[in-house]
Amino acid sequence: MIVKILLFINLILCGLSFAQDKLEDSASQKKLTVVAVGEAGVLKEGLLIELQDIKQTSLLAPVRDVIASDFAFYKKKFDTRTGNISGSSLANLESLKNKNLNYYLNLDLIKQNDVNRVSYKLISTATEQVLLQGVEDLKKSSMRNTGHVIANAVFQNITGKKSIFLTNIVFVSDMGSTSKKTVKELYVMDFDGHNAKRLTQHHGIVISPSLSSDNKKIVYSLISNTNIRNRNVDLFLYDMNTGTSKLISSQKGLNSGAVFWHEDKEILLTLSHVGNAEIFSMNLETKELRRITNNYAPDVDASTTPDGKLMTFLSGRPGRAEIYLMDPSGMEKDVRRISYVGDFNATPRFSPDGKEIVFSSWMDNAFDLFRISSEGRGLARLTKNFGSNEDPSYSNDGQFIVFTSQRVISRSKAVWNLYTIDRDGEFIGQLTQNYGNCTSPRWSN
Amino acid sequence: MEYIYQHGPKSSIDKYLKVSFSIHFAILVLIFLLAQIKHIVSDETEKFNLQLIESSVRVDMVSMPKFTLKELKTISMDEVGNGQEEAIQDHATKQETTAIPDNEPVFEKEKKTKSFQEIMQELKAKDHKLEKANIKKPVAERETHKQLLNDRLKGKLRGLVLAGNKLSQGTSVQGDASDIAKGAYYDYLLKLPDWVRPHWSLPSFLREQQLKCRVRIFLASSGEIIKAVLFESSGNTEYDERALAAVKHASPFPAPAPEFSRKVSEGEIILGFPL
């Protein structure tokens, strides 16, 4: 009996091994070959912006131009045209389609209760469907805002993503300084450089501002000009709603480089009262401090991912300034270095998706912008031969980077202005001009 | 022997032989199976060790990149434009040559990396010989071919992927260069991406979603497309449609040689969008 069982098992085993071979053979004979075609080219969306009536030009052209200049930021995605390509007719959508214009935006002037308003209509030339329509106020004072609102609505409808058109940029300018006294105050402007206005009046030197995630609060540091003997770097919190500032930290030494964290309930900041610049977290309610870095070398410039789980900072641990990552929920938790080159790296800032870090690095007698993935791969240079480029900040959608760049005008004079590039280093435009030396730009969320 | 005498000589010898035979046979089979398992296991560990070495070697650049991303894009575009014919004719050498001008100091380190990769390649080639004994040949061929295509893609994207300052996984070097010159069929396959790509473009919002679909193509001996069917959907109808449209616009494809025109007409080729 045992013999029979054994023999049977043997037979099964042999049979199985043969069967396996056969299966594999038949599979391999009918092999299909996959040929990779590669990444697709980019098809730009063609958008025609047109006024309903040529007589409305004086009133509506400014709005149209704002929309066009907004879309010009996304020049890699959109081919925006204005004017009378279609001869101002909605009936001629077929001809627009042939000109690679997939979208048609019509602006019309209407009167509601004797008030001029602008009505807009977005039409897909392929389906001839009205994708979007609405009415906006048309006031001289808020003309640009009207344009941004319409542009944002159109952009969101076409791409399904948020645009930068309603964002602001907070920055520091030394406008109003005299040769004896340098004054740097906090300013805010539209993302395209218009509508700049001053926020603070400390008559001191404002440095390193940072916006909260709801854009309602700004935390910044101030070097006071009033107390010359004992100049400390103190930390202030500005409230956008009330327009007031209040002191939140004045430890001895540095109280700077603060960023919001944990749904704006806490901040991460650099303090040097322990004898050496270290990163701490501070609860804005209780002012309770918790130490995050602990090293004999200075650790500064914290920046976090939106979820707050990862923090990048600058550390002098290797003997020169290099970029590190860590988990800010503990002290010295999961610290790892991600940059290994560069004579002096500065201001690492996370992209909104937390996948990239942009920073400036000293190279060829100037700072230039570089980008690296948060795993420390794919180091890429973004700027070159463009003055000294510093203090980068990502836009809310991660597609653009605003930074400050110094142009040397003469032996004794150089000027700082704000510029925008896209995330691949393509130049977009200059934002400030004749507005003093503009530095420390921060893009709102 | 007592056993035999007690139960009658003939039947007990028969029984004894049967038992003995089956036990021995079972032992043999066991040994054979064990050897197989051991071989597979040792092969796995060898592979694992190799991967470990590959991933543990960090390639550091001596300095920050001199070229901007934009400049590198134009460099790579030019290179691709010039080197296309060569690439199709001779892939074996293509692997060795760098797409970046030789006189640029920045990329010196990249070259060093190459030499290391060559060492790895040699190592792997040895490993590959062992593999060949076990793994079914067509599978190995397919792997090699996939790798070859990836290399071509990589060549194109080389300019974009900046070397240095990265923890490199290293390229998984499968098979050696001699395998690549597998003949006309492979050459033919390699021509196809260039044929389709000019017609393959997406609106940016669709491109950013990083979708993937595959299209199975059936080609006539003239190169005309008989039919193109969706083999793997991306889940997005517009994406799938655009991929199919790209294939249709790319027709007629280069005419396949008679020796493999049957394969081609029976739909053995699948185009991956993008991979």
Task: Give the tens place of pLDDT for each residue, A177-220.
Answer: 888 888 999 999 999 999 999 999 998 999 999 999 999 999 99
Q: What is the pLDDT of residues A415-436, one digit of tens each?
A: 999 999 999 898 999 999 989 9
3-state DSSP assignment of residue B148? helix
Task: Let me know: does A190 contact A168? Beta carbons within 8 Å.
Answer: yes
**Between residues A382 and A7, the one the model is more confident about:** A382
Tens of pLDDT along A98-145? 888 889 998 988 988 888 899 999 999 888 889 999 999 988 888 999
The owner of tokens 């042999």 is A14
* Cβ <8 Å between B69 and A380: yes
Which residue among B22, B68, B200 sits closest to A6, beta carbon to beta carbon? B22
Cross-chain Cβ contact A43/B204 below 8 Å: yes
- Asked if the B198-275 domain carries CATH number 2.30.29, the reply is no
CA distance linking residue B90 with residue B68, whole number of Å: 31
Closest-approach residue (CA) in chain B for A9:
B26
* C-alpha pair distances (Å), A356 with each of A153, B16, B198: 28, 75, 30
Whether ipTM tops 0.95, in short, is no
CB contact under 8 A, A376 and B139: no
Nearest CA in chain B to A367: B64
Query: Which run of H or E residues covers position A62?
Result: helix A57-73
Instruction: Inspect the interface and report whether the beta carbons of A37 and B62 lie closer than 8 Å.
Output: no
- Domain limits of chain B? 198-275
Q: Considering only alpha carbons, which residue of chain B is nearest residue A159?
A: B205
- Which residues, at least 6 apart from A87, have a Cβ–Cβ distance to it below 8 Å? none
Distances (CA, A) of B17 to A29, B3, B20, B24: 43, 13, 5, 10
> Which residues contact residue B73 at a Cβ distance below 8 angstroms, ignoring those fewer than 6 apart?
B159, B160
A184: helix, strand or coil: strand
Question: Å from B141 to nearest chain A CA?
Answer: 10
- Give residues with Cβ within 8 angstroms of B18, minimum separation 6: A3
pLDDT for residue B123: 62
Nearest to B98 by CA among B79, B84, B116, B82: B79
Question: What is the rounded average pLDDT of the residues A53-58?
Answer: 82
Q: Which residues pair with B231 in a beta bridge?
A: none
User: Count of CB contacts below 8 A, A vs B?
Assistant: 170
Chain A touched by B120 (CB under 8 Å)? no
Strands (E), A148-226: 168-173, 185-190, 197-198, 205-211, 217-223
| pTM > 0.90: yes or no | no
* Domains in chain A with CATH codes: 45-159 (3.40.50.10070), 168-443 (2.120.10.30)
How close A367 gets to chain B, by Cα (Å)? 12
pLDDT at site A6: 55
**A149, A117 in Cβ contact below 8 A?**
no
Instruction: Write the residue in A39, A76, A380 that is nearest to B274 by C-beta.
Output: A39
Taking only the tens place, the pLDDT of each residue in B39-97 is 877 777 777 777 776 665 555 555 788 888 888 877 655 544 444 443 334 443 334 33
The DSSP H or E segment spanning A11 is helix A2-29
**CB interface of A with B, residues 145-174, below 8 Å:** 158-161
What is the DSSP secondary structure assignment for residue A297, as one 8-state letter?
S
Q: What one-character DSSP code corresponds to residue A264?
A: T
Buried b (16+ CB within 10 A) or exposed e, B214-226: bbbbebbeeeebe
Closest alpha carbon within chain A to B135: A24
CB–CB of B270 and A32 under 8 A? yes
For B147, the 3-state DSSP assignment is: helix
Q: Are B71 and A384 a contacting pair at CB < 8 A?
A: yes
- What is the mean pLDDT of the segment spanning A150-162? 92
Element (H, E) at A248: strand A244-249
Q: Give A11's contacts in chain B (Cβ within 8 Å).
A: none
Interface check for A1 against chain B (CB to CB < 8 A): the answer is no
**SS3 call for A114:** coil
List the single best residue of B70, B161, B212 to mutate versus A (max A Cβ within 10 A). B70
**Nearest residue on chain A to B68, judged by CA atoms?**
A381
Cα within 13 Å of Cα(B238), Cβ side: 8
Residue B179 pLDDT > 50 = no
What residues 58-87 of chain A have any CB closer than 8 A to a CB of chain B? 76-77
A424: contact with B, CB 8 A cutoff: yes
Instruction: Tell me if B145 and A383 make a contact (CB, 8 A cut-off).
Output: no
Q: What is the dihedral of CA B117, B121, B124, B125, to 10 degrees?
A: -170
